[in-house]
Amino acid sequence: LDATPIETTPADQIPGAQHLWFVPLGGCGEIGMNMNLYGHNGQWLMVDCGIAFERATPAEGKAIAHTIAIAPDVRFIEHHQKRLVALVITHAHEDHLGAVARLWPKLRCPIYTTAFTAEILRRKLQEAGLLSEVIIHVLESDGSVSVGVFHLEWVLMTHSIPEPQGIVISTPAGKVFHTADWKLDANPVVGNPFNKARLQQLADEHIDAMVCDSTNATSPGRSISEGALYPGLFEAVAHAPGRVIATCFGSNIARMQTLATIATETGRYTGLLGRSLETMASAAKATGYWPATLTLSEPSHLAYLAPHEVLIIATGSQGDHGTALARLAQHRHPDIELEAGDTVIFSARTIPGNEQDVESLVSTLKSIGVKVIQAEDSPLPIHATGHPCHDELVDMYQWIKPALAIPVHGEARHMKANAQVALANGVDETMLGTNGDLFQIAPEVKKIQGFAPTGRIVLR
Ligand SMILES: [Zn+2]
Ligand SMILES: [Zn+2]
């Protein structure tokens, strides 16, 4: 580390040897574009660098609203760039790594992550022409490493993508458990279950603060296991007379594999339509997360098969314009033509804000005689969330026993609900805030509002 002080930096923006600071620049008070900073003894560590999607108002003369990608304003850490020792990526969802290729030139630090996430990241850096410049250190799911003044330990969680990692961040001033995105799934279909033994051990190691996913804190009970979706999806496919098109989130490798397994069992060939599905499946193959027994067919080959022999997994569950399912619905797909008697299964929930687009896609599909099965009208579950509901948060607080809970990854109401779960389950203190606030974890717990400038920049 270059110890030369940055002259224009006020001294109170530099964490001291007694300090452990947490400063979210994105993802705190909102869902999306996660970017977290930890500060200790003159150094900063960044955890995740994601994007969010926003609806743009239609340009004049254009009827269709479009989606734009946005990222956090990194002015603050750009100013402290010499003190930034590393960027850690917890998992390969866009809201955690989507902004790396765009923002890395301002960060210029080594990246630490696990193999699957690194595989996705390399593809993005390659496209941006940055692959040769960025150093990526690949760790095991239970690996650990010291970077500057931070000691980092990866803890395997379960979520809706391979290798979701919680990170234990230790410094001489204090210790944090950064959960990132997680749920407690005993049967995640792909990859190993979460490392329960290690999570329970952390209680004996005194965690000063747990920075925790709040997405589903207002939902009672537990999330459904990814492995529990097989019967509902099997029923839906087995009873379909014609083609089956199943749409899910592009990064859900487990869902793709459940659907591909069901296809084999019901005498159908599977193919993927849509770039995000293809990229994810290819990364899964490259990193050992795709069993050789699950074969995928080229969409152009599926076109020659009888309808009842076809199961297509397609992007477009949110009704977005231009995705595979939208093109199929409008008879604008080069390979596949949908017909009356075909079935479309939405193995996804509708993200708030997308209801109108999904509704209009569903009515277009129905108008050509396609049967539509949405997650909410299936008698058995055909979609599972990747985030912890109330009872899972209870488990985690009881396992980790942190002195302080800092809810993130949610809107204010989700974070407030998460804080209430913490307080009701043995956590003495919680801190609620928003992007740009300084959460001081050590020496004493306090918050400074508006510590770092924040904002959003439009990427595309
Ligand atoms: Zn997330
Ligand atoms: Zn995620």
When computed from its CA atoms, the radius of gyration of the chain, rounded to whole angstroms, is: 23
Q: For residue 305, what are its two tokens?
A: 């098969």
Q: What is the mean pLDDT of residues 316-327?
A: 94
Task: Give me ligand 1 centre to Cα 411, in Å.
Answer: 12
Residue 390 has pLDDT above 70, yes or no: yes
Counting ligands in written order, the one closest to the CA of 48 is 1
State the distance from the centre of ligand 1 to the C-alpha of 343, rounded, in angstroms. 30
Q: What is the pLDDT of residue 315?
A: 97
Measured in Å, residue 91 CA sits from the centre of ligand 2 at 7
Q: How far is the CA of 30 from the centre of ligand 1 (A)?
A: 10
As beta bridge partners, residue 38 has 22, 45
Task: For residue 62, name the pLDDT band (cuts at 50, 70, 90).
Answer: low
Distance CA 453, CA 460 (A): 22
Q: Which ligand is nearest to the CA of 32?
A: 1
Average pLDDT over residues 188-217: 97
Query: Does residue 10 register a pLDDT over 90?
Result: no
166 CA to centre of ligand 2 in angstroms = 11
| Dist. CA 164 → ligand 1 center (Å) | 10
Query: What does the alpha-carbon distance between residue 86 and residue 77 come to, in Å, rounded to a whole number?
Result: 12
Give the pLDDT mean for 309-334.
Answer: 95
Q: Is the confidence at residue 104, as pLDDT, over 80? A: yes
Q: Which ligand is nearest to the CA of 214?
A: 1
Q: Pairing relation of β-strands 66-72 and 456-458?
A: antiparallel
What is the reported pLDDT for 1? 54
Which among 140, 53, 34 is positioned nearest to 97, based on CA atoms?
34
Can you tell me whether residue 365 is helix, strand or coil? helix
CA 295 to chain centre: 26
Taking the whole predicted model, whether its pTM rises above 0.85 is answered as: yes
CA of 93 to the centre of ligand 2 (A): 5
Read off the pLDDT of each residue in 128-146 and give the average, rounded to a whole number. Answer: 97
Dist. CA 159 → ligand 1 center (Å): 10
Say yes or no to pLDDT of 441 above 70: yes
279, 120 in Cβ contact below 8 A? yes
Separation of 179 CA from ligand 2 center, angstroms? 11
Q: Is 290 helix (H, G, I), strand (E, B) or coil?
A: coil
- For residue 226 the two structure tokens come to 């990814």
pLDDT, tens only, 152-178: 999 999 999 999 999 999 999 999 999
* pLDDT, the chain, mean: 95
DSSP 335: S
Cα 141 to middle of ligand 1, angstroms: 18
